[in-house]
Structure 1
């Protein structure tokens, strides 16, 4: 019965049947008579009248499931009703059908045409007419295209010949331009090497990508060898870097530049702060937790930057200024925190080692003075209230050999030195102040236990290891290598010592000092032996322009 089908509808895309209002003009005379009879039985309700369109609909949606005949009819016509819901939605939008939806509409029109309203049938006819017009237009365009292609066939052959000659000539000219540009970029990469590490590397990469010329390959390999262990460049293209200090967790860095500016960097955030450090800095230091920054100026001033507070501001604590600076304006040679960050020391030429409490700036103990005629080049906090110093003769050049001394911080007196008058080169002390490492001129690396009376814990044997060193922008980078290591052309073996390999001229003896000081590490096991030794100092006169992290 078509009437029952007209009384049920689906929403577009839905699967739940709902009541549908059937208008009198859409139902026709016979179906409206049946609808009136069903309304008298209260299965349907009639709405409208008084100028409003009259329609009939189910008395309640529950009849869709309760009225067995209606339920069976809905189940049989479910697909048709769902499609008609989509069709009516398209009719309301005025969007004509095309493609598969139009083909489906034609099938339903052939099967259930009388069940559709005149508007719906007209909508399908319009969609079919538009499709026919589109097909005719497509055929006409195909005919025009064939004629056009046929007319261009001869011209195409001629154009291919001409374009082939043009492409060949253009490729040849482009190759020449790329090779010339590659050489220029490689030259610029070398020129920018001392200005910006990142920019120089980018120019080298651009040179190689432009054309793989020998100069470009050389520039790229040079950048690779320099940056292959660099994880990230954190400070670049500024004034040359004089000094760098890092917190114990490796997240904060203080950078001092030759311009006197000092900045603080927080890795991973690209954050740059002054951290309470004014300009004119010569040496910078950072407490292990990174919360206190220290700087020593070129005029002898020493100050701290503490913070940040709740507002993100840093508090400046002046440690050395005023009369002390006017009396001795020489710049400090070393600046260092202890392993807790509660104390800070400065090695002041002409005076000695000064120690302060970092939070308050209060002096601790007296001035730790070196012997007459000597000055303190480096200092470290030792165990049990001691301070270790490496002293050099007054007026000695930077990088000169020195001696090791130890002071008692409480009374400022020097302990009887266990090192005697042995000359000392590069020295480093562990963060807790319990272990000291120094290296000798004959290639021996010594480890000292500083707890109690300092004693030698072990050393490398020069017969088993050779030092391979190279000058860098800040220090000699030295490593222990097997005695059979051969030197490359850029680092010929010296005639003066079979255990050294460096960059001095072939046949010349190894220098006793180097203006670019070394930091040395050994990979060999230590054996008890403590001979005298000497080695160059750790500080340098030349400096890099960038700070980078290595894995």
Structure 2
């Protein structure tokens, strides 16, 4: 599982398998009776080739001293300068000849060297190189389990590495461990998670803290391309280590004398002479270009294969295309032997084996046989031609069994920089490769979250991925295709769910319409009752008038008998009673009619979902007023509907703050996530926090020197961000009102601010025509996004935080990739100032509003 090799007194763990001798490749057309080739071509020198490794003795001695005295040593050099060779064929053989210093004062006898490539998961790679040094596993499955367990411990507990080092020291008391990370730039090209990268660096740096230099159980050697030094130095703890004496060893260009030694001595050991003046010619053609050492070694290897009469000649040098064209010529000759289909497959293979440079040159990227699929046969041909290297790694299958998985890598970065055809391919596909690199990051995150739906692509990124899947399926691995299809399937499920919800809403609206019709029927019935009551009242009034007439006649007829007078008075009293009863019946009927009418209007307010909230509000208000025009309480149905409509109405809440207020116009407001507080900004240069329930002022945030234009809460409600005409963005503690930090960088007023969904990033838009991203934890500017031609009025993050959108006086809406700062889309249409932008909750749609009076999707 983990190869173990011994060279002298050095035991090496994880030394990559030795590639075939260049002279033995199947395509060689030279005399196979030639002596073995002492030159390594594009392969790195390994310990077994140390006898042929010349010209680096001064640097090797310097490196040995640094390793013995320092806990961490970085070997820096240009691509192709021989960093791997000087460590494997220079440092390790030199250490095997020197005793190891021990804390007890007695010399040790051996070194343990563990080699690892950081790759996409540096913790897993480190664990794989350490486990064989202390674990007693019965089989490969047990080793895999031990490796996974150690990797998890290293991620969660940085002190775990010190514990493992003590285990190794106890198991190998007469050894000192040397960890070799080669190439270390993979930590930046293949591991894209900043938190993981920093945690791994902290682990390496902190592992030495319990030990002194003399009794430290291990040292670390990093090989790092010089163009990645600036990126590595951005992390202060690593920069501090690299700045210590002897910690950074710069592998400079070899002198002419050293190069002569590297050319002449290997051939001399094989008894092969070199024609006069050929060495000088090689050195002159080599020039001063960085990385030309690998071209020299490849040219020497080709010269050896084409030697004439056991001599390296000028004629052979001419035949192979000389220094400038040897590698490109050789690659082209190999490419020409492939069929048209194989040539297409070869292009796809090389595109999968290159990581596009971002601020640095392109680098190699290993791939697995599973990722390349049906293109593996052409990989075998390229490996036989020594353009790629095939290796292996042990992985765990789904059934828990161990399985060897083939891997492939470009033989050397010199091929990327010197093969014209490959450079042309990279230039043509650079944008696709950059997108594919981001897709692989998202895929890795999805796998790390156990394929959680929340890590799937959606919205615009999913649409772009769908286009790429349709246009270039052969350039995507099976895992990448499966990831995109999983996102499309999730989108389809969401759409089906939305349609079901819409269907349910339609049914609910139908039910409300039926209820409204029923209420209207009740209203009509009540009106009929009212008319009947009025008729009864009129009858009663007529009877009363008749009684009055009879009473008058009775009074005038004083001579009528007393019994007749009593009868008349009784009749009058009866008529008055009937009139009073009719009036009561009329009032009750009118009251019932108002209640029925109010309930009908309330039902209509609930049912009318196709008109504005304002219309619904007026219907609900009228319903309450109708039921309030009585001596009884407001009808509870109408009252409840009014409250519901007010709650649903997207009209804002108008609150008068009773005691204090801003001293100038209010420019922006926002609710806290829990709805308990309101934040406002003003031309009076303040930001104020209010209690939403009482209107009381909670905090007054002072610091801006000028109008404050924008405010926003973080999603957790712990912080408030504001932006003002003074050109600053300020972060406040929402609980105390204290200013946390000031974010400076804009050259003009800040008009818009927002938090990313995870609260780690702040976005701002300014009159200086830029959009800027800030690290909320440190206040550092992450990146600047330029493109707008006028001031920026509004900004917003997509729900997944991968994209941001901005609008401007230039009449455009622009979509940005948050990770790279690259402009993804340029949306025109308004033609004049665009004041506001927003994302839909699912991230699939952007809405904008502008001076042209339109809202656009």
Category of TM-score, reference length = shorter chain: 0.3 to 0.5
Query: Which one has a larger percent helix, Structure 1 or Structure 2?
Result: 2
**Higher RCO (Cα < 8 Å, 6 or more apart):** 1
| TM-score, structure 2 normalization | 0.21
**The structure with more strand, counted as a fraction of residues:** 1
When normalised by structure 1's length, the TM-score is: 0.32
Larger Rg: 1
